[in-house]
Each structure stands twice: as C-alpha cells, then as structure tokens.
C-alpha cells in the first residue's frame, strides 16, 4: 500500500507536471498562433481599419446628403416661389392699421383747409393755393383708402408678367442646369470625402450656402413685398407732404423694386434656358459645368442688379485685383524703394560752343 | 490513522504544487488578456484604434459638447434670450432725463449759449451798422430770425427728443398689439431650435460640416441685440449731439452737417417701429408662403438618434471584440455584442431628455423662414439707414 501510494503520487505528479507543461506550451503556442492569425495582423487588420475609416466617411456623406437633398428642393420650388406674392387677406389686417392711423390726419387737414378757404383767406392767391391743397388732400385720402386694391393690382401685374416671361422658354432647362451645378458640387464633395474625410468640406459649404442663399433671398422678397405693401398708406402719406416727400418716394420705389424683382428672376430663368441650349453649339469644347455654376450665380446676382447695387461687383473686382496684385505689389514697393534711393540726376550744363577754329 | 493523515497531507501538497503550476499557466493567459485590453487605452490594438477607438471617444466628447454646452447651456441662455426678451429689447429707448445724458445735453447747451449770444450780437451789429447792400442786409436779418428760432428749439431740445422717443414708442407698442406676443416668441424660438437640430445632425460625423450652422446659431443669438444695441448707442450719441445739430443747421455754411445729425437721429429713433413691423408682418404673412412651395423637403431627425446610438456602439465594440477573441469565434461575437450594449446604454441613459425634445422632422419652409426673419432683422436697418436721407429741407 505504501509503495503503491508512493507510485501513485509520483505518477500523478508526473502526469500533472506533464499536463501543466504541455498546457503552458499550448498556451504559448496558441498565443503565437493568434498573433499570426489573419484577423490579428496583416491583411485583415488593414481591411478592418480601412472599413472603419470608410464607415466614418460614409456617415459624413450620408448626413451631408440629408442636408444637400433638403436644400435641393429649391429647384422644383423655384418657378412657384418666383411668381409668389402674399395673399391679400393676410396683408389687409396690417394695412388697415396704417390706414386707420393716417386717415384722421387727412380728415383734420381737409377740415382745416376748408375752414381756411371759407373763413380765413383774404387774398385770391392764398385761396387758390388752399384749393390746390384741398384737391391734393382728397386725392391722397382716396389713394390711401384704395391702397389695398393698388397693391393687388401691382401684385397681379408683376406675377402675371413673370409667368408670361417664363412661358417664353422651357424653364425646366434652366432648372436642370442649376440642379446639375449643385449635383456637380455635391459629387465633388463626395469623391473628395472618399479620398480624405476633411477634403470636401469647403465644397459642401459652397454647395449648401448657394442653395440656402437662393431660398433666403426668395423668401425675403416675398416678405419684403408684403412689408412694403403694408407700408404703402404710410408711403402715400409721406409723399403728399413736401417735408417728407423723399421718405415717401423711397418707400414707394422700394415697393416697386421688391414687387417687380420676380420679373428679373423670370428673365434670368429664360436667359439661362436659352444659353444652356445655345452655348454648346457655339463653343463645343467648353466644359458645360462652368455654365451651370455661372447660371446659378447669375440667379443670385439678379436681385442685386435689380436693387441697383451692382457696385458691389466693382468693389469685389477691385478687391480681387488687390489680392492678386499683392505679390506683384511687394515687388513694386522694392522697385520703388530702389528708385527712390537713387540720387536725382544732376543735369550738367551743356554749353554748345562753336569750335575754336571756327 | 496517523499514516492516513500523512498520506492526505502528501496528496494535498501534490495538488497544491499542481495548482501553483497551473496558475502559472493561467496567469500567463490573464496577463496577456489584460495587456491586450490595456492597449486600447494606449492607442494600439486589433482594429487600429488610433483611427477608430480614438475617433469614437471624439464622438462622445462632441456629443457631450453638443448636448451639454450648446443645447443645455448656450441655447437657453443666449440663443433663446431674444425670443424671450424681444419686446423689452425693441421697446427700450434711452431717456433724455437719464442723469448722464441729461448732464451731457445741458453741458452742450451751456457751451452753445455764449456762441449764440455772440452770433446774435454780431448779426444785430451787422444789420444796424454795416449794411452795405440790401441783399446782405436781408441775409443778415434772415440769419437773425433763424438764430432766434433755433435758440428756442435748443432750449426745448430735451422735451423735443422726449416727444420723438415717445411717439416712436407709442406707435411701436400699437404695432406689437396687432399680433399676440406668444406667437412671435414661438416663431423666433422655433427658428433657433430648427437651426440647432440641423447643426446637431451635421456635427455628428464631422464638426466642420456643422460649423456654419453653429456660426449661424451664434449670429442668431447676438445679431438682433447688436442691431438694437447699435440703435441705442447711436440714439444716445445723436441725442447728445442734438443741440449741436440744431446750431449747425441754423448756420448756412454748416447746414449740411447739422442736417445729417438731425436726420440720423430721426432715422434711428423711428427704426424701432420698423423693426417691430418686420417681426409682426413676418409672423403674420410669412407662413402663407407654404402655399407656394410645391415640394416641402424634410429632414427626418429620428436619424439623429440612430447616429448617436451607432456612435456609442462603435466606441466600445472594438474593445469587446478584442477581449473576446481569446475565447474563439463565439468569444469575439459575444464580446462585440457586450461592447455594443455597454456603448449604447449610457448614451440612451444620458441623452433621454435630449431625445424627448427631438422633433421628428424639420421642413424647409420653417427652416428658411426662421433664417429669413433673423436675416431681415440684421439687413433691414442697413437698408433703412442707407436709403433714408435728405428728407429735411
């Protein structure tokens, strides 16, 4: 028993030692095998890390596409937004406020003038003047009372004229051109992002800012047309007094400009449609994408042209020249300095003498 | 018994040795496991965490910034300040009876008084003794009358300014009466919120894409106050310069400057009515543009929640996979699932209030209308002050 136990214990120790050693070897082997396994290093590792980067880029493109598609809706909406004017029912309430505010002034003025004509005035010149004023006041009062109708007529004329202008050519061509411009920018953003995830951000910015600006300016025209229409009674009131004539004139001019701006856009759409069709036949080798982007920028420039502040363009050209000329100008400064450093030439007095042996 | 005890002890000793030896093996295994897990915090590891795990941590930080700093701090404190306080901000006017302004005005008037006396004396002297021609005499007389009238206006300058301010304030108040203030607050607040949600969507993958929207959000918060603040400051300045303007306006050879000062005072005072009118008319007629929009594009913001959750998942899944790989294929799978779960859970827990406030969709009409009203608040005063000049005789 004693020997048996000893042998057994010895055997057990040996077995366990062997097992433990073999396990240790196995573990090391397994570790080595793992480190050499395809998902540990090499091809798969590169693949997984690249896939991870690409998923990040995909996320950028995806969230960008949500915003891009959001703004891209400007193009299908453009024809109706161009011809849109605020409905009269929404304006009348506010116009009524100004009409109610101004009418009492007119009534008081008419009463005072009548009182003056009947009782006060002595000289026929003054009476004639007062009568003239009387007529002016009555006309002003009538115009103010019918100003909602006046606005309606202006809206009607402008909206119908722009609709007629847009019927002159297939506007869809122009819209397609704008869409192609935005799509071109978007594609550029997409490919640049695929190459490097920060690569296309600026392109995305240009793409979305242009579309957002178009939306913004069209909405702004709609609201400005409403706002200045609401102010029409006040504009007429200001216009009828010599002292405030300039204010009234300015307000009335602005009303006309903002209402008829839609005609500018309508003309722009027609011109772009025509240009997109005709240019390839004139200049076949020119990349058409440039025309697309130019046409898009042209649509943004239209309101500024109408508002008569095209000077900004002159300013921007000037700024561009300054920036462009900066490297040259530093050279010019150097040149100038060297020329200034040079001493002025002292003119030698040349006396023409006759030869001695004359 | 004793022999048996000794035998048991011997067996126990043997087993202990076995355990110690096997522990050595296990310890090797555990050490490897730990060192591998640790790698993630050092920027090394299986799935190239330098660009992945690190990015995910970046996501976490960005989300916390968006939610805590922008949504929890900036928006309620600054961006929603104008929608809440628009009425008080627009209605506020500097008072000429404010001690600071009053003293300055009195100071200006006091400076001008001796000048007036000198000028009147000179003009009187000229009329009485130095009359060379009839026309110059009438000119001098004219100037004398103008000086006397302007002296009257000068002494009444404080009540005149107060009258102008009161008139402007009264009309502004009645303009605001045309529409409920709650509606205006709702529109302005909605504009801020819509812009924020687009920012939150674009900032998740890359902050640079969201940056323009964040800039716009800052502009929305500060631009109206800047315009109104500019108005307040300019009114204060022209108010103080009013006596000088009246004086310059009287003298034929300085009339241009005086006219400019007085016109600018009037323009900036009455701008108040037109700012109120922009907001009121905008809220009144802005939404009617919806009828002219054929295709009202929408962004579904339920995507946003998905994006945040995926981000959380991606942050901890690599670690789970890396730890799980020691248990074979099923270990990798289980580790990945556990990692993803651990990543999503805190996000869902931390952002639950944020998700509750999340609108399901944003449409283009509301979004652009919101941007338009703020743009008009900034642009209209410029148009107004640019076009309005030369209205005084």
Cβ–Cβ gap B390/A246 under 8 Å = yes
**Residue B361 forms beta bridges with which residues?**
B300
Cα B374 to the chain's mean position, in Å?
11
How many domains does chain B fold into? 1
Q: How many CB atoms lie within 10 A of CB A22?
A: 12
On the 0-12 / 13-18 / 19+ scale of CB atoms within 10 A, A301 is middle
Task: State both tokens at A307.
Answer: 């508002």
- Residues of chain A neighbouring B18 (CB-CB closer than 8 A): 13, 16-17, 20
Cβ–Cβ gap B364/A53 under 8 Å = no
- C-alpha torsion sign, points A205, A193, A189, B200: negative
- Residues of chain B neighbouring A209 (CB-CB closer than 8 A): 212
Q: Is residue B113 part of a domain?
A: yes
On the 0-12 / 13-18 / 19+ scale of CB atoms within 10 A, A247 is buried
Cβ–Cβ gap A16/B278 under 8 Å = no
**Chain A: closest CA distance from residue B281 (Å):** 6
**Chain B: closest CA distance from residue A330 (Å):** 34
Q: Is residue B324 part of a domain?
A: no
Q: Is residue B196 part of a domain?
A: yes
Chains A & B: contacts with CB separation below 8 Å: 195
DSSP SS3 for B300: strand
Q: Is residue B379 part of a domain?
A: yes
Q: Which of B292, B308, B331 would best serve as a mutation to test chain A binding (most A beta carbons within 10 A)?
A: B292
Cβ–Cβ gap B18/A20 under 8 Å = yes
Range of the domain at B295: 80-301+359-387
Q: Per-residue pLDDT for chain B (393 aa), expressed as one digit of tens each?
A: 677 888 888 888 888 777 766 666 666 666 776 776 666 555 554 444 454 555 666 666 777 777 778 888 888 899 999 999 999 999 999 999 999 999 999 999 888 888 888 888 888 888 777 766 777 777 778 888 888 888 888 888 899 999 999 999 999 999 999 889 999 999 899 899 889 888 888 887 777 788 888 888 999 999 999 999 999 999 999 999 999 999 999 888 888 899 999 989 999 999 999 899 999 988 888 888 888 888 888 888 877 777 778 777 877 777 777 777 777 778 888 888 888 888 888 788 877 777 777 777 888 888 999 899 999 888 888 777 777 777 777
- HSE (CB half, 13 Å, CA atoms) of A58? 8
Task: State both tokens at A70.
Answer: 């959001």
Q: How far apart are CA A73 and CA A241, in angstroms?
A: 47
- Residues of chain B neighbouring A94 (CB-CB closer than 8 A): 178, 280-281, 284-285
**Chain A: closest CA distance from residue B231 (Å):** 19
What count of residues does chain A have? 358
Q: Is residue B371 part of a domain?
A: yes
Nearest CA in chain A to B198: A67
- Tell whether B9 is within 8 A of chain A (Cβ): no
Name the DSSP class of B171. Answer: H
Cβ–Cβ gap B285/A84 under 8 Å = no
ipTM of the complex as predicted: 0.77
Give residues with Cβ within 8 angstroms of B376, minimum separation 6.
A220, A223, A224, B278, B282
């Amino acid at each position: 028993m004693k020997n048996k136990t000893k042998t057994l214990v010895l055997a057990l120790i040996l077995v366990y030692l062997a097992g433990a050693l073999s396990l240790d070897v196995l573990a090391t082997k397994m570790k080595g095998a793992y480190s050499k396994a395809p998902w540990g290093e090499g091809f798969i590792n590169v693949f997984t890390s690249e896939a991870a980067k690409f998923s990040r880029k995909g996320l950028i493109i995806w969230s960008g596409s949500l915003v891009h598609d959001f703004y891209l809706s400007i193009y299908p909406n453009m024809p109706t937004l161009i011809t849109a004017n605020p409905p009269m029912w929404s304006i009348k309430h506010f116009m009524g406020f100004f009409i109610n505010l101004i009418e009492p002034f007119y009534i008081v003025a008419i009463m005072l003038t009548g009182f003056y004509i009947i009782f006060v005035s002595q000289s026929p010149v003054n009476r004639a003047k007062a009568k003239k004023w009387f007529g002016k006041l009555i006309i002003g009062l009538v115009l103010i009372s019918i100003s909602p109708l006046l606005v309606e007529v202006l809206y009607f004329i402008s909206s119908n004229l722009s609709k007629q202008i847009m019927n002159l050519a297939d506007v869809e061509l122009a819209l397609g051109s704008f869409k192609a411009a935005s799509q071109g920018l978007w594609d550029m953003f997409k490919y640049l992002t695929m190459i490097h995830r920060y690569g296309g951000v600026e392109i995305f910015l240009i793409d979305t800012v242009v579309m957002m600006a178009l939306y913004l300016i069209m909405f702004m025209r709609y609201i400005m047309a409403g706002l200045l229409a609401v102010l029409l009674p006040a504009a007429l009131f200001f216009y009828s007094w010599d002292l405030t004539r300039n204010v009234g004139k300015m307000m009335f001019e602005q009303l006309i400009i903002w209402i008829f701006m839609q005609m500018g856009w309508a003309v722009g759409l027609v011109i772009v449609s025509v240009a997109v069709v005709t240019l390839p036949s004139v200049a076949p080798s020119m990349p058409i994408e440039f025309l697309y982007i130019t046409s898009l920028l042209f649509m943004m420039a239209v309101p500024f042209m109408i508002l008569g502040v095209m000077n900004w363009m002159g300013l921007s050209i000037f700024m561009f020249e300054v920036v462009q000329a900066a490297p040259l100008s530093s050279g010019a400064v150097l040149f100038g300095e060297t020329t200034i450093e040079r001493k002025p030439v002292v003119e030698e007095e040349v006396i023409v003498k006759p030869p001695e042996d004359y | 018994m004793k022999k048996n005890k000794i035998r048991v002890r011997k067996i126990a000793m043997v087993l202990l040795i076995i355990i110690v030896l096997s522990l050595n093996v296990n310890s090797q295994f555990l050490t490897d496991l730990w060192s591998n897990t640790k790698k993630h915090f050092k920027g090394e590891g299986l799935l190239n965490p330098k660009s992945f795990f690190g990015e995910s941590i970046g996501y976490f930080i960005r989300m916390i910034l968006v939610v805590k700093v922008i949504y929890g701090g900036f928006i309620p404190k600054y961006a929603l300040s104008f929608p809440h306080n628009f009425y008080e901000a627009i209605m506020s006017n500097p008072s000429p009876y404010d001690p600071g302004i009053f003293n300055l005005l009195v100071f200006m008037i006091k400076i001008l008084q001796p000048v007036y006396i000198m000028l009147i004396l000179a003009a009187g002297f000229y009329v009485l003794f130095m009359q060379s021609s009839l026309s110059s005499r009438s000119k001098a007389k004219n100037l004398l009358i103008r000086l006397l009238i302007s002296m009257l206006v000068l002494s009444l300058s404080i009540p005149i300014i107060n009258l102008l301010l009161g008139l402007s304030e009264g009309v502004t108040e009645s303009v605001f009466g045309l529409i409920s203030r709650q509606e205006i607050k709702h529109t302005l607040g909605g504009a801020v919120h819509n812009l924020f949600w687009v920012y939150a969507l674009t900032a998740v993958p890359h902050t640079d894409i969201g940056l323009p929207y964040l800039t716009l959000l800052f502009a929305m918060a500060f631009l109206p106050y800047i315009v109104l603040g500019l108005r307040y400051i300019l009114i204060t300045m022209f108010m103080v310069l009013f006596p000088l303007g009246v004086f310059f306006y009287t003298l034929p050879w300085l009339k241009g400057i005086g006219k400019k000062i007085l016109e600018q005072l009037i323009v900036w005072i009455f701008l108040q009515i037109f700012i109120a009118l922009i907001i009121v008319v905008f809220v009144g007629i802005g939404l009617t543009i919806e009828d002219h929009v054929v295709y009202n594009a929408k962004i579904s913001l339920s995507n946003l929640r998905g994006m945040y959750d995926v981000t959380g998942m991606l942050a901890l899944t690599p670690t789970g996979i890396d730890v799980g790989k020691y248990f074979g294929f099923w270990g990798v799978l289980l580790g990945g699932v556990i990692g993803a779960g651990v990543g999503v859970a805190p996000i869902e827990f931390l952002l639950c209030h944020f998700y509750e406030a999340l609108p399901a969709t944003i449409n283009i009409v509301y979004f652009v209308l919101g941007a338009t009203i703020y743009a008009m608040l900034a642009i209209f005063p410029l148009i107004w002050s640019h076009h309005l000049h030369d209205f005084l005789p």
